[in-house]
Chain A
Amino acid sequence: MIWRLFKDKTAKRFMQILTIFSLLTVVLMAWGLYYKSSPIIQANSIKELLTSSEWSPLAGKFGFFSFILSSVYVTALSVAIALPISLLTALYLTENAKSWVKKLVFPVLDILAGIPSVVYGLWGTIIIVPFIADVLGPHFVDYTSGYTVLAGGTVLSVMIIPLLVSLFVEIFSTVPKDFKDASSSLGATRWQTSRLVVLRKAMPGIIAAVVLAVSKAFGETLAVLMVCGNMVKRPESLFDSCYPLPALIANNYGEMLSLPMYESALMFAALVMFVVILFFNAISRIILQRVEKSFKL
């Protein structure tokens, strides 16, 4: 008898330690990245690192502004493309679609969510980049290589659509049916109900989902690395190439040990991404939990 209780107590303690230790991963990651990037933070101020766009590792000048700007452009564009498509698809799936359509769409979304980013990158270089260079680009600018902000945004948008749609479907289905019934009994059409009741009620959830999608797009590496062109300059238009932060890290990991401060600079880039995404994720998860609770009552 005592032996069984002892086993129970030991297991409990062991699992407790494991759980608490696993929580420390976040702290450890933050500390590790900060520790590695501290040389460059001490040499230049954080403000200078984030707002200067002078990038010449050989001269020891590390300004991240054009990379940050590239990341922001590509991410914003991807959300701008993916949001309307995902909202409409999710509304269709929850309000209108017949069950065979759902049975077809959900596996497709599953697969899209599972396709590795290198395959998205390959698709981007074969389909999207030539399309922009030969078909779309000539209408707007004199010359574009195709490896552009637009290409990055498009590929990223396809990558975040599965995430957005599945979150939206989940959120929309928490809107109580009574609300929708009340709306239709007042003579609203389906779309009016969707727009005035479902979307309005689901607004906090939608915002949280978008924030999650933003952080996914922001951190996506290989696909953007393959289609963005990776030129160190501020992108001026959709048809300019750009160089987002994750691409910078992935592209230079090989030679980063050969230059002083270079490793520290790349770790600083990783730290910036870590902090931004940690913050975004925490906020949106907390909102999502609130949303779920408020509807369950």
Chain B
Amino acid sequence: MKLKFIEEKIFNGLMILATLTVFAFFGSIIWTVAKTGFPSLTWDMITKLPGGGFYLGKEGGILNAIAGSLIIVFCSTLLGLIISIPIVFYINIYLKKGSKLAYFTRLTFDVLFGIPSIVYGAFGFTIMILLGLKTSLLGGIIVITLLIIPIFIRSMDEVAKSISKDLLDAAYSLGATQLETIRVVLRQIAPGITTATLLSIGRAIGDAAGVMFTAGFTDNIPVSLDQPAATLPLAVFFQLSSPIPEVRNRAYAAALLLTIIVLILSIAGRLIMNRFSKNRIQ
């Protein structure tokens, strides 16, 4: 056999091996989280606040972290949508193709997308000191909003860029102003908005480094914006460092909960993308 065919065989094998390695990592992570988490994932865990002696292994749950995470994620996703839809609309509809400002905006958000959450956290912390805020729900929401706006803009822009020009021209020829085409545009980028939202929720709920500085941690459910808020990733992180096995088990359960949420978001995103991409006008 010629050398090149031997080489081909070897590298085909290596490629399959590499792909299997990725699967192996995936399997190992899911298996580890499921195996350690399921035994401790009880109804009490999800529905109870930490009781007295919770961090010594006594009873209670992580409802504080679940509630904190949900509030932060909900508020910042909403804020993120409100801020990023106009920006995407502006750079795609109002600005001409090849506009310097549009190019620069895209580049900036590409770059901001890569900035790690710990830097956002540190920045958020300086803002909070400037404004005289303590670690609070508001701080967490601000930082997470900043963190997910680039995700929103990048993934919506990806879809908005490919809106057919004919469709816009049709709207203009009927006398619509550029603003009025927003109804057409929104309908066209709806799947993009949905997947962007799911992506952002996933990143927002899993982020710990950003909220560590800004939202703090507490055993209670926050009822106003200036109270600190607990979050799921931090609940995992803090409890995992405990020497008491019961407490560590709760960390495993919280991690499993996080992973399940991420799994659901990811699968839902894929389904929505598949379903809606068929109905688009190219």
Contacts and interface: CB of A to CB of B under 8 A. Distances in A.
Contact of B258 (A92, A118, A188): A118
B83 A18 contact: yes
Interface in B82-121: 83, 86-87, 89-91, 94, 101, 104-105, 107-119, 121
Interface stretch (A52-60, A104-112, A139-147, A175-183): A104-112
Contacts of A80: none
B119 A85 contact: no
Contact of A122 (B121, B199, B209, B251): B251
Interface in B56-105: 83, 86-87, 89-91, 94, 101, 104-105
Contacts of A91: 15
A148 interface: no
A16 B112 contact: no
A212 interface: yes
A61 interface: no
A285 B252 CA distance: 37
Interface in A89-128: 89, 91-93, 96-97, 101, 105, 107-112, 114-123, 125-127
A285 B111 CA distance: 8
Greatest chain A CB density within 10 A among B28, B112, B209, B269 is at B209
B280 interface: no
A266 interface: yes
Contact of A115 (B86, B91, B125, B262): B262
A192 B22 contact: no
A169 B42 CA distance: 41
A189 B179 contact: no
B14 A88 contact: yes
Contact of A282 (B5, B7, B107): B107
Interface in B188-241: 199, 202-203, 205-209, 212-213, 233-234, 236-237, 240
B263 interface: yes
A22 B212 contact: no
A294 interface: no
Interface residues of B, number: 85
Contact of B262 (A28, A116, A274, A282): A116
A253 B89 CA distance: 39
Q: How large is the interface on A (under 10, 10 to 19, 20 to 34, 35 or more residues)?
A: 35 or more
Nearest to B110: A285
Main SS of chain A's interface residues? Answer: helix
A241 interface: no
B244 interface: no
Given A117-B206, A273-B116, A274-B119, A110 B270 contact: yes
A278 B208 contact: no
A29 B269 CA distance: 31
B8 A4 contact: no
Contact of B122 (A14, A89, A270): A270
Interface stretch (A39-47, A62-70, A219-227, A231-239): A219-227
Given A18-B90, A33-B122, 7 more contacts: A26-B112, A85-B21, A105-B23, A112-B29, A158-B29, A161-B22, A215-B114
Going nearest first, the 4 A-B pairs with the smallest beta carbon separation are A219-B116, A116-B206, A88-B18, A92-B15
27 contacts: A12-B90, A19-B101, A22-B109, A23-B104, A29-B119, A88-B17, A88-B18, A89-B15, A91-B15, A92-B18, A105-B23, A114-B262, A116-B208, A117-B209, A123-B29, A189-B4, A189-B7, A192-B8, A218-B116, A222-B237, A226-B237, A246-B118, A250-B118, A250-B212, A267-B126, A281-B115, A285-B111
